[in-house]
Amino acid sequence: MRLLISACRAPSRLTSTHNVFIKHNYNKREPRMSRKTVLSALGLAGLVCAPAGSEAIAQEWATEEVIVTAQRRGEPLQNVPLTVTVLSGEALLDLGIDTPAKLAAQTPGFKVSTVFGEGTNPTLFMRGVGLLDFGDVTETPVALNLDDVYLGTQAAQAAPIFDVARVEVLKGPQGTLYGRNATGGVINVISARPTSDFEGRFGVQFGSFGQQIYEASASGPLAASARGRVSFRSNRDDGWQRSLTTNQGGFGQADVASVRAQLEVDVSEQSTLLLRTDYARSDGTSVLYPLTGLLKADLVTYCTQNEAAANLCFNSAGERGVRDPRVGLSNIPHLRNEFEFRLGSATYTHDFGGASLTSITAFQSVDKIFEEDADAAALDRGFTSYALDAHQFTQELRLNGGEDDSLKWIVGVYYFSENRSSSVESPPNFATFADQKSKSWAVFSRADYPLSEDITATAGARYTYDSKSIDVVSPGVMSKESRSIHKDSITGTVGLSWRTNEKTLLYSNFSTGYKAGGFNATFVFDPDSIGPVAPETISSFEVGVKSGYYGGRIFLNGSAFAYEYNNVQSIALDTNSNINVTRLVSLGDASIIGLDGDVILRPAEKIRLIVGIGVLKTEIKSTNVQSTPFPPGFVSVNGNPLPMAPDISFNWLAEYNFGLGGGGDLIIQVDGDWRSQFSFSATGADEANERSDGYGLLNASLKWKDPNGHYVIEGFIDNVLDEIYLSFNSNVFADNAAGAWGKPRTWGIRVQADF
pLDDT tens figures, 291-323: 999 999 999 999 998 999 999 999 999 999 999
Assigned domain for 99 exists: yes
pTM score: 0.89
CA distance 462 to 490: 6
Of the candidates 511, 401, 611, the residue with the CA atom closest to the CA atom of residue 81:
511
Q: How many CA atoms are closer than 13 Å to the CA of 296, on its beta-carbon side? A: 7
Q: Is 246 helix (H, G, I), strand (E, B) or coil?
A: coil
CA distance 110 to 89: 19
What average pLDDT is seen over the chain? 88
CA distance 258 to 146: 14
CA distance 28 to 691: 51
Q: Is 43 helix (H, G, I), strand (E, B) or coil?
A: helix
Assigned domain for 26 exists: no
pLDDT given for residue 536 in this prediction: 94
pLDDT given for residue 333 in this prediction: 94
> What is the DSSP code string of 113-129?
E-TT-TTS--EEEETTE
| Higher per-residue pLDDT: 598 or 359 | 359
Phi, psi of 65 (to 5 degrees): -140, 125
Q: How many domains does the chain contain in total?
A: 1
C-alpha dihedral (736, 740, 742, 748), degrees to nearest 10:
130
CA distance 306 to 303: 8
Kind of pairing, strands 242-243 and 327-328?
parallel
CA distance 249 to 304: 33
Residues spanned by the domain of 411: 35-290+325-754
Burial 607-641 (b: 16+ CB within 10 A, else e): ebebbbbbbbebbbbbebebbbbbeeeebebeebb
CA distance 344 to 274: 11
Mean pLDDT across the stretch 34-47?
A: 34
Burial 131-160 (b: 16+ CB within 10 A, else e): bbbbbbbbbbbbbbbbbbbbbbbbbbbbbb
pLDDT given for residue 99 in this prediction: 83
Q: Given a cut of 80, is residue 228 above it in pLDDT?
A: yes
Per the CB < 8 A criterion, the answer to whether 461 and 487 are in contact is: no
Sorting pLDDT into bands at 50, 70 and 90, what band is 577? Answer: low
Look up residue 567 and give its DSSP letter. S
Look up residue 192 and give its DSSP letter. P
pLDDT given for residue 368 in this prediction: 95
pLDDT tens figures, 655-699: 999 989 889 999 999 999 999 999 998 988 888 889 999 999 999
pLDDT given for residue 13 in this prediction: 31
Assigned domain for 164 exists: yes
Sorting pLDDT into bands at 50, 70 and 90, what band is 55? Answer: very low
Assigned domain for 546 exists: yes
Per the CB < 8 A criterion, the answer to whether 190 and 167 are in contact is: yes
Helix or strand holding residue 197 (H, E): none
- Length of the chain in residues, anyone? 755
Sorting pLDDT into bands at 50, 70 and 90, what band is 582? Answer: confident
pLDDT given for residue 96 in this prediction: 81
Q: Given a cut of 70, is residue 24 above it in pLDDT?
A: no
pLDDT tens figures, 510-535: 999 999 999 999 889 889 889 999 99
Phi, psi of 671 (to 5 degrees): -145, 165
Sorting pLDDT into bands at 50, 70 and 90, what band is 404? Answer: confident
CATH number at residue 73: 2.40.170.20
pLDDT given for residue 43 in this prediction: 35
Q: Is 19 helix (H, G, I), strand (E, B) or coil?
A: strand
pLDDT given for residue 392 in this prediction: 98
CA distance 489 to 266: 39
Assigned domain for 455 exists: yes
Q: Given a cut of 80, is residue 424 above it in pLDDT?
A: yes
Assigned domain for 207 exists: yes
Burial 390-416 (b: 16+ CB within 10 A, else e): bebebebbbbbbbeeeeebebbbebeb
Per the CB < 8 A criterion, the answer to whether 155 and 133 are in contact is: no
Sorting pLDDT into bands at 50, 70 and 90, what band is 179? Answer: confident
Residue type, 693: D
Assigned domain for 431 exists: yes
pLDDT given for residue 579 in this prediction: 66
Cα distances from 539 to residues 415, 441, 478, 727, in angstroms, run 24, 22, 39, 29
Phi, psi of 459 (to 5 degrees): -150, 140
Cα distances from 494 to residues 176, 186, 413, 457, in angstroms, run 10, 18, 20, 8
Per the CB < 8 A criterion, the answer to whether 122 and 100 are in contact is: yes
Assigned domain for 302 exists: no
CA distance 286 to 120: 8
Strand partners, 674: 650, 696
Sorting pLDDT into bands at 50, 70 and 90, what band is 589? Answer: very high
